[in-house]
Amino acid sequence: MIKKLWKWISVAAALVAILGLIFTYIDAKVENAKLENRVVELERECQESQSELEEIRAGYRNLLATLIAEGKISIKEIKLFLSEEEVKKVKGQVSTIALSLPINIDVYFIPSGWMGEGEYGEKYITFTRLAEYIKISYTPGPKGWAGIY
């Protein structure tokens, strides 16, 4: 009888061990499925981040191209901070930008001399700097013309 009892105890112990292995296997499968789902989520997030990053890059390239077209910075200056590939992309965008009027003349023009009645200083020409522009008023004098270069 003790032999039979030991036999059943051995069988029960083997069954418990087998059940433990089965549950461990099931837990491992569940964890593996969770990890695979997380990998898929991370890959999707990475792709979304890449799209967002490219949108940001396109935005800063557009900003740089606009600043270059407006004469506020030069391509030489951006070469210090960008890769050659990015510089090429910015250069490509610069040629497609059309400046819209009014423009900030201070960016493109630095007066260095006067012609005609401009040579008489403010006798015939007056300047009024307003918020968004400079108003130039001219009263014709003996020469009948004035110019700034």
Residue 82 sits in the same domain as residue 115:
no
The pLDDT tens digits of the residues spanning 14-40 come to 899 999 999 999 999 999 999 999 999
Residue 59 sits in the same domain as residue 96:
yes
Residue 47 sits in the same domain as residue 70:
yes
Question: What pairing do the DSSP bridges indicate for beta strands 134-138 and 125-129?
Answer: antiparallel
Assign residue 100 a region (left: φ > 0; alpha: ψ between -120 and 50; beta: otherwise).
beta
pTM for the predicted model, two decimal places: 0.42
The boundaries of the domain holding residue 127 are 111-149
The pLDDT tens digits of the residues spanning 126-147 come to 888 887 778 888 999 999 999 8
138 Cβ neighbours under 8 A, 6+ residues apart: 117, 124, 125, 146
